[in-house]
C-alpha cells in the first residue's frame, strides 16, 4: 500500500494477497481507513494494526495466507514493532468463518467480504476509540467483543468508494463485477464470493474518469468472468458496450480485458476490440483444459472444438491479437493420453502467454469427491512439461517482434545493466506476462513511449526508445 503518513494518527499496515480483484478491495479499505482518521503505512514496524486481506481460492493460496498470518502474529508477539492488533479479512474468513477463531487465536478479528465498508468502525472498536460523529459497532450486552464478523458476501464497490491505488505506475485495475455463476466443478469462488454482481456502466465510467484524473493511462478490466458482465442488470448491458463507453474517457490510452470465459466470447466483443484503438489487442482466455472428457468433468461450458473456433475467430477478427490462457493439470481423470491431448493442443494453438496450475482438491466443490486422483509429483511433472514447451513457444513469438516498433508504458527504473527503465507493451499484462526493458531517453513512470524491439528472451523484450 502507498503510505499516507501522519505522526499523530494510528497507523495501519495492509498486506494484500491473491488476485487483482482482492487488490482492489485492499485499496478500497485503505482509503476508508485513511478517510476515517488512520494513517496507512507501508512499514509494518510502525503500524499499530496489521490487516491481512487473504486469498482462499486453492490450497497454495490458503497456505500463503496462513503463513503470512503466522509471520505477522510472530511479529506482534515478539514486539518487533508497534503492532497491538492483527486483523484478517477477505476470502479466508469468508470461506471458513468461525473455524478460524480456534485455529488462529493470534488473530484479534476476522472480517468477511461484506465488512469492507465497515472496516474503519471495526478498527475503532479494537483500539477503543472512535472519531467524532462515527458510531462504534457494539457487541451484544454482556458478551465479549466479536472476533469474527462474516455474513453473506454482498459487497460490491462503486465509484463512491475511493481507492488508494497501490500500483505506482500508469495502470489501475477496474473491477467491473464480483462473484461468479459458472459453477466449475473445481472452483470454490461462487461459495466465497457469491453469484455474479455487475456494476452499472455509468458507475464504472465515473470511476474511470476519477482514475484518469489521477494520472492513470491504462485500465485493466477485471472480474471473475468479464464476458458475462451485465447479464444480471436491467437492460443487460454488454462488455462490448462498456468498452465503447470507456474509450471515450479523456486521458485513458489503453483498456485491457482479463478473465474472458471462452464460451461467452461474442463476435460483437471481438469486433469492438478490433475497432477501438484504445482497446489493447490482447485477450486473457482461461481455457483450463482442451480434452473433452476433462472439460466435461470440470463442468466447463464448451468443448475442444468451441475453444479452437473461438481462438481462430479472435485471430481472424483481431489481426495480431496476443492471447493468454491458464490451464489446470492433474485434474481427476486426466490420463496420460488426455494430458498428451492437452500438450498437442498447446503446440497447435501457440498462446503468447500461458499460466499452468496443478489441480487443488477443494472441499465444498463438486470435484472434491472424484476418484482417479493423480499424485502431486506427477502433477508437477506435467506442469513442468507444459511450461518448458511454452517457454520455447514464447521465445519464438518474442523473436518475431525484434525490429518492430512498439508503444510501451513505462513502469519504473530498471535494474539490468544497460537498461535504465522497464515497462510493458500492449500485449503484456502486469505481473503475469513479462516485461519490456528500456534504454535510451529519460522517460518518467507512467509515460507512453515509442520503442524499437532489439532483443528477446523466453518472456521479456528488450528495446531502445526511439
For the segment 382-426, what is each residue's pLDDT rounded down to a tens digit? 999 999 999 999 999 999 999 999 999 999 998 888 899 999 999
pLDDT at 8: 61
The three cell numbers of residue 444 are: 518518467
- Cβ atoms of residues 302 and 342 within 8 Å: no
**CA-wise closest residue to 424 among 353, 350, 347, 326:** 353
Over the stretch 15-38, which tens digit does the pLDDT of each residue have?
999 888 999 999 999 999 999 999
**Structural domains in the chain plus CATH codes:** 10-149 (3.40.50.12160), 171-393 (3.80.30.20), 405-465 (2.40.50.140)
Positions of E strands within 292-432: 322-329, 353-358, 405-416, 419-425
The HSE-up count of residue 323 (CA atoms within 13 Å, CB side) is 26
pTM of the model: 0.91
pLDDT tens by residue, 77-116: 887 678 889 999 999 999 998 788 889 998 999 999 999 9
- Alpha-carbon span 201 to 246, nearest angstrom: 9
Amino acid at each position: 500500500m502507498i503510505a499516507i503518513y501522519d505522526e499523530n494518527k494510528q497507523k495501519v499496515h495492509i498486506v494484500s494477497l491473491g488476485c487483482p480483484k482482492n487488490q482492489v478491495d485492499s485499496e478500497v479499505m485503505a482509503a476508508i481507513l485513511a478517510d476515517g482518521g488512520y494513517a496507512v503505512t507501508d512499514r509494518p514496524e510502525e503500524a499499530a494494526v496489521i490487516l491481512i486481506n487473504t486469498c482462499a481460492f486453492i490450497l497454495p493460496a490458503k497456505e500463503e495466507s496462513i503463513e503470512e498470518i503466522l509471520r505477522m502474529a510472530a511479529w506482534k508477539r515478539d514486539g518487533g514493532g508497534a503492532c497491538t492488533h492483527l486483523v484478517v479479512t477477505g476470502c479466508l474468513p469468508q470461506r471458513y468463518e468461525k473455524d478460524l477463531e480456534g485455529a488462529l487465536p493470534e488473530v484479534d478479528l476476522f472480517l468477511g467480504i461484506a465488512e469492507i465498508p465497515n472496516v474503519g468502525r471495526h478498527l475503532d472498536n479494537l483500539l477503543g476509540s472512535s472519531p467524532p460523529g462515527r458510531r462504534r459497532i457494539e457487541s451484544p450486552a454482556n458478551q465479549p467483543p466479536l472476533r469474527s464478523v462474516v455474513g453473506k458476501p454482498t459487497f460490491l464497490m462503486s465509484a463512491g468508494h475511493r481507492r488508494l491505488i497501490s500500483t505506482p505506475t500508469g495502470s489501475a485495475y477496474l473491477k467491473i463485477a464480483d462473484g461468479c455463476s459458472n459453477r466449475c466443478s473445481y472452483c470454490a469462488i461462487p461459495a466465497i464470493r457469491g453469484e455474479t454482481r455487475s456494476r452499472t456502466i455509468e458507475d464504472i465510467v465515473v470511476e474511470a474518469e476519477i482514475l484518469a484524473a489521477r494520472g492513470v493511462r491504462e485500465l485493466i478490466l477485471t472480474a471473475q468472468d468479464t464476458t458475462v458482465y451485465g447479464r444480471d442488470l436491467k437492460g443487460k448491458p454488454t462488455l462490448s458496450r462498456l468498452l465503447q463507453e470507456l474509450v471515450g474517457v479523456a486521458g485513458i490510452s489503453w483498456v485491457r480485458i482479463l478473465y474472458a470465459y471462452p464460451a461467452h466470447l461474442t463476435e460483437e466483443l471481438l469486433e469492438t476490440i478490433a475497432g477501438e484503438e484504445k482497446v489493447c489487442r490482447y485477450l486473457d482466455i482461461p481455457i483450463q483444459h482442451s480434452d473433452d472428457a476433462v472439460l466435461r468433468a470440470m463442468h466447463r461450458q464448451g468443448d475442444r472444438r468451441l475453444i479452437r473456433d473461438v481462438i481462430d475467430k479472435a485471430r481472424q477478427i483481431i489481426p495480431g491479437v496476443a492471447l493468454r490462457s491458464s490451464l489446470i493439470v492433474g485434474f481427476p481423470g486426466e490420463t496420460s493420453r488426455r494430458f498428451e491431448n492437452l500438450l498437442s493442443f498447446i503446440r497447435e494453438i501457440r498462446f503468447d502467454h500461458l499460466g499452468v496450475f496443478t489441480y487443488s482438491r477443494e472441499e465444498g466443490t463438486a470435484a472434491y469427491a472424484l476418484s482417479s486422483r493423480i499424485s502431486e509429483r506427477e502433477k508437477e511433472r506435467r506442469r513442468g512439461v507444459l511450461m518448458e514447451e511454452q517457454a520455447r513457444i514464447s521465445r519464438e513469438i518474442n523473436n518475431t517482434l525484434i525490429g518492430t516498433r512498439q508503444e510501451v508504458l513505462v513502469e519504473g527504473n530498471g535494474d539490468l545493466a544497460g537498461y535504465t527503465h522497464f515497462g510493458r507493451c500492449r500485449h503484456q499484462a502486469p505481473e503475469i506476462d513479462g516485461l519490456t526493458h528500456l534504454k535510451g531517453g529519460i522517460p518518467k513512470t507512467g509515460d507512453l513511449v515509442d520503442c524499437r524491439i532489439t532483443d528477446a528472451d523466453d518472456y521479456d523484450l528488450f528495446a531502445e526508445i526511439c
